[in-house]
């Protein structure tokens, strides 16, 4: 961080609640769409310039192991 000013941060609790709202909101078929919606919500916060979203699909219908 360029500064130690708490006023220039994003409240993680608020972001977490917003992510829950996105995940439990309008259904999507693709995890890529869900990731994009989560990213767009995070980018609405002032000062947020970049986000990385990882979405896991533990019951993916494939026959090979993956992590």
Cβ proximity of 54 and 34 under 8 Å: no
Please pick, among 56, 57, 65, 67, the residue that the annotation labels catalytic. Answer: 57
Q: Is 44 a catalytic residue?
A: no
Residues carrying an active site annotation: 57
């Amino acid at each position: 961080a360029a500064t130690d000013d708490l006023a220039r941060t994003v409240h993680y609790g608020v972001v977490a609640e917003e992510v829950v709202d996105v995940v439990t909101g309008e259904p999507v078929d693709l995890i890529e769409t869900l990731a994009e919606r989560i990213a767009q919500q995070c980018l609405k916060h002032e000062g947020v310039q970049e986000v990385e979203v990882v979405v896991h699909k533990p019951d993916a219908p494939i026959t090979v192991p993956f992590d």
